[in-house]
Amino acid sequence: VQLQESGPGVVKPSETLSLTCGVSGFPISGGYYWGWVRQPPGKGLEWIGSIYQSGNTHYNSSLRSRVTISVDTPKNQFSLKLSSMIAADTAVYYCARHLHSPDMGRTYFDYWGQGILVTVSS
Amino acid sequence: QSALTQPRSVSGSPGQSVTIACTGTSSDVGGYDSVSWYQQYPGKAPKLMIYDVNKRPSGVPYRFSGSKSGNTASLTISGLQAEDEADYYCCSYADTYSLIFGGGTKLTVL
């Protein structure tokens, strides 16, 4: 399973960030969630949200108002949109395969992309 | 939702054992048997080391083990090796279809 993030390295304040995660070696419809995690420079990991093959999504409550995650099954990829970007959104953004089973209270990320640094700057 | 609490740093000599604690609440760590641990080298993506509190993915050395008691989970590394020097993050399922990471712990091998 391999994941690869793509998108702009610089975004202007107030603009919307758009990132895509291409998945290879495993069908995106294969029964997992697919998630986004970010890490500001020198800081810890923060979950942004995740999407299931059906389009069902779960978002971090602190970002919910600004986040949209979508899935493109034919292209085997999923995407992140984060609106109203500010300097504090500067981070490395990772996509990952996510075993997320709310019914059983289970969650973990087993395969990760290499990450993409997104800087918010005018 | 605050991050799970981890020590900012721990250290140990080669061959020793170290334990990293991860403290949460009854709404996350204490409420579910779903704690995972990730190892991260500088400039690299995190790597899953432990899931479901104490399960090791294929390829992870046996010297990495996980446990949980109440609202605190722990990662123990036995027979410490130089290559274990990295940042470690815990993660737990949390109420209402969510999850939360710990603040991270820097492990130094002396």
Q: pLDDT category, A23, cuts 50, 70, 90?
A: very high
Q: Is A33 on the interface with B (CB under 8 A)?
A: no
Q: How far is B12 from chain A (nearest CA, A)?
A: 22
Q: Give pLDDT tens digits for A45-67.
A: 999 999 998 899 999 999 999 99
Shortest CA distance from A63: residue in chain B: B1
B5 in contact with chain A, both atoms CB, cutoff 8 A: no
Alpha-carbon distances, residue B2 vs A51, B54, B103 (angstroms): 23, 24, 9
d(CA B22, CA B24): 7
Which two structure tokens, joined as six digits, stand for B92?
């737990």
Instruction: Note the pLDDT tens digit of each residue in B1-26.
Output: 689 999 999 999 999 999 999 999 99
Question: In 3-state terms, what secondary structure has residue A24?
Answer: strand
Between CA B86 and CA B94, with CA B88 as vertex, the angle to 5 degrees is 165
Contacts of B100 (CB under 8 A, 6+ apart): A47, B1, B3, B4, B24, B28, B91, B92, B94
Diameter of chain A measured on Cα atoms: 44
